[in-house]
Structure formats: C-alpha cells, structure tokens
Structure 1
Amino acid sequence: MVLRTIIADDHPVVLMGARAALEAGGDIEVVGEAHDGDQLLALLSMQPCDVVISDFSMPGGRHGDGLLLIDHIRRRHPRLPIVMLTMMNNAAVLQAMRIRGAMGICDKRAPLREVAVAARHAYFGRPFYSDSIRAQLDADGLPADAAHARLSLRELEVVRLYVGGQSITAIAERLNRSVKTVSRQKRDAMRKLGLVHDGQLSEYARDRGIA
C-alpha cells in the first residue's frame, strides 16, 4: 500500500525537498501541494489523502495558518492525521499544536527525512516529534519564564502574527475577531510581559521562539 500525502508550505524549495524526502522510500506518494491555508483546505476537499503535512506559519489566505489552520482541518477532516512543520521553539505553542490534534511535529531545521518518518507514524496513529521539539515539550512544566506562562493561547497567537508583520486589522480578519478584541489581547500580552513598546515585543518574541 502506498501512503498518500498532501503537503503545504509557502516556500517552493521546502515543498520540493519535502516531496523528495517523502517519496524516496517508495511507500509514500505526494498527491497534492499547497502554498497557503486556503489552498490546502480546498485541496483536502477534492483530493483524498492519508496524511496531511503543513507548515505552521504560512502568511496569506483568509483561513489563516497556525493553530487556526489545525482547527479548520480537524473540523472538516476529523480522522485525518496531521503533521506540522515548524521552526518555532516555544513550548506553549508546541503544546497547543499537540493538544489541537497534530500527530507529528517536525523541526524544519532537522533532516528532511524526518518528515517521512513522521508521516508513517501519523498514519498508524503513533506520535512523532523531532528531538528538539520533544525537548521543549518535556520541559513545558518548568517555570523558567513566569510572565510568559501567564499569556493565553489567544494572546500568544496575536503576538506571533503581529511581530510577523501583520496589522491589528489583518489579524482580526484572519482570526475572525474584532479589531477591538485583538488590540486588547495585544495590549494585555504586553502588560503581562512588562513591555512598553512594540520593539520590545518583537525582541521578546524572537528571543523566546514565538515569532
């Protein structure tokens, strides 16, 4: 049996490398590629597959990316195993991916062959995490940054998108929230972190792997 996968990433080079890694063993076939969340959801509605593999951060598309995209996939295809690709090293966000339903999480800095391993594991219902991801998940309970631990997942998502260059209005549209709500969540996050201006927020996010 050949395992059918659909892969999504906004970088063509990553798609090319992931396809090569997945199909190298002969037991996995890439049956579709997407460049953002909208394309991925449209493809999933038309093309049957056994595992979906998606980048966590893909700007563009009205359905968004990140945790929101995982939610969309789970709602529409509840039995479809999900593998996420990411460069994030923030334990709270990684834990949220797992809780939301990601069966596998691969560090994009790890060897690409891990993507194929993760796809096989996910298909058979076995979790797979890159070593660096597992280390973050295992350390999730450590109180190394008490201020950061007080942020809600909604606040974390707003911070991630904002420091990634999106405006408050764009974030509100993407997350289906009001501008007022998103503005408040950003303000609350900065207050909890003891930050005064956006430059500090960007630096904080980069240092802690949120961006």
Structure 2
Amino acid sequence: MGKFSIRTVFAYDWPLAVAGMERIAGDACAIDLVGVYRTPGELVAALDSVDCDIALVDYAIRGDTQMDGLALFEWLRRMRPSVGIVALVGNEAPVILRSILAQGGASLVSKFDEVGHIVTAIHSSYSGGRYLSPLVRRALDELADRDQPQAKLSTREIEVIRLYLDGVPIKTIAQRLNKGKQTVSAQKISAMRKLGVTNDIELVQRAAGLGFGGAKAVSRGVDIGPAIEVAGRERCR
C-alpha cells in the first residue's frame, strides 16, 4: 500500500511565504507539495497538467492575468471542481470572506492565525469539509452581529465595490473582471442602492461600517477616517 499523501499546490507571490509553506509541508508528512506558483496565470496553466487534491491560494495574490481574488476562486470551482480550495486571507473585509464562502466549499485561514491551522484546513478540505480558522470565524461572527438585510450584496457586487474603494477605475474593473463597463457600472449602482447610499462619500462610510475599513479610498478629497484615503484619487503603489 502506498503512502497516503494530499497533493497540494500553493499559489503565493511572496518568496518568504513560499519557503515557509515548503517547511510546513515537510513537517506535515501527509502533505505533498506538488507545485508552487507566483501568479494566478501560473497556477491556472499548471492545473492543465498537474494533478492535485488541494489548491492553497492567497486571496490577495496579484499577477499576470485579469483573474484574481473572487474571480480566481470562481474559476477553480467551475473548471476544477474536484480540487479542494484553501484560501489564505489577511486584512480582507469580512464581507469578502463571506463572499468566498458563498461560492461554496472553500476553507479559509487567516495569515494571522497559527500555521497549524493551514494543515488542519488542508485535511478538512481533502475530506470534503470546510474549515474556518479562529480569526476568520470571529470576523464573520462580528459581521453577522452588525449585518442588515438591505446590505446583502451579491458576490460580483462585493468584488466591484472592493476594487472601486481601492481606487480602481470602473473601466479597469471591467477589464479585470472581463465584463462590460456598463455591466460593472450597473453592479456598482445596484450595490449602492442596496446599501442605501447616493454618492461616493456615503458609499465609503457605509462600506467601512460593513467591514471594508481596509479599503484605500476617500471620497473626492474629504477625509473620513485613518483607514480610508481619498476616493477617486489614483492608487499609489
């Protein structure tokens, strides 16, 4: 009988994190790290030829394709349904975490939790379960406590608002999500209507209250908080 192992691919664009995951996999005898990729494009291309059981993916990974964040997880669910997903998350808004879960099945591990939770999540996902690390669960519980029915945004509306609050222009959002500009504008308008806001200043304030507090945006030069910069201003990197 062959040795039991969970074939895992890892997508993360920080070399230090890659080295750390290689160490974790080496210490956890059942995890076989069969591929490491630095961009969404590398991961997508590799899955045409690499057999794996689990995809361990950084939600915030950026790279050479239009497909990142929720769009990448949606692609994995649709095109590689047999592959379990473990998403690594940092300071993402709680509504983003909930949106990932709404896509179905993914386990979520906060980068600020102990690394052992990564191993637990991989085993849980391999067995068909879903694991939420302690900080992820706490963030979701806090969101549920302050949630309001009218704030129930769709997965795509959340992604559009997240990018918009990060200072990404509507045209660029449309390109990144492979959608028409009018479609993206309509999704933004729909989200604003559900949130009960009529302008960008109100949008930033309302979104911050729902857990988008890490967004890099302010509304047209009006400073509304230390976690939010000027809305409509081009993002500096």
TM-score range, shorter chain: 0.7 to 0.9
> Which string of whole-angstrom CA distances, capped at 9 and with x for unpartnered residues, describes residues 89-144 of structure 1?
544332222231343100011122221221111112222111121223345543x2
> Which string of whole-angstrom CA distances, capped at 9 and with x for unpartnered residues, describes residues 148-203 of structure 1?
72433222101212233433222111212111221333344345353633696289
How many Å apart are 1:50 and its aligned residue?
1.5
Instruction: Name the structure where helix makes up a greater proportion of residues.
Output: 1
1:1-211 alignment, distance < 5 Å: 1-88=4-91, 90-139=93-142, 141-142=144-145, 144-146=146-148, 149-190=151-192, 192-194=195-197, 196-197=199-200, 201=204, 204-205=207-208, 208-209=211-212, 211=215
How many Å apart are 1:145 and its aligned residue?
4.4
How many Å apart are 1:206 and its aligned residue?
9.1
Structure 1 segments, 4+ long, off by >6 Å, are: none
Determine which structure has greater relative contact order: mean sequence separation of CA pairs < 8 Å that are 6+ residues apart, divided by chain length.
Answer: 1
Q: State the TM-score, normalizing by the size of structure 1.
A: 0.84
> Unpaired runs of 5+ in structure 1?
none
Larger radius of gyration: 2
Contact 1:64–1:174, Cα closer than 8 Å, also in 2:
yes
Identify the range of structure 1 (171-180 vs 145-154) with the bigger mean alpha-carbon deviation: 145-154
Partners in 1 of 2:91 and 2:209 — Cα distance? 10
Identity %: 30
Identify the range of structure 1 (145-154 vs 66-75) with the bigger mean alpha-carbon deviation: 145-154
How many Å apart are 1:63 and its aligned residue?
4.4
What is the root-mean-square deviation in Å for CA atoms of aligned residues?
Answer: 2.8
Contact 1:17–1:112, Cα closer than 8 Å, also in 2:
no
Contact 2:86–2:109, Cα closer than 8 Å, also in 1:
yes
> Unpaired runs of 5+ in structure 2?
216-237
Identify the range of structure 1 (161-170 vs 185-194) with the bigger mean alpha-carbon deviation: 185-194
Partners in 2 of 1:98 and 1:54 — Cα distance? 14
How many Å apart are 1:47 and its aligned residue?
0.9
Partners in 2 of 1:141 and 1:175 — Cα distance? 28
Q: State the TM-score, normalizing by the size of structure 2.
A: 0.76
> Which string of whole-angstrom CA distances, capped at 9 and with x for unpartnered residues, describes residues 10-59 of structure 1?
22222222222232222212111112222111111111112110011223
Aligned residues: 210
Name the aligned partner's letter for residue 30 of structure 1. L
Cα pair distance change 1:203/1:109, threshold 3 Å:
farther
Partners in 1 of 2:41 and 2:53 — Cα distance? 19
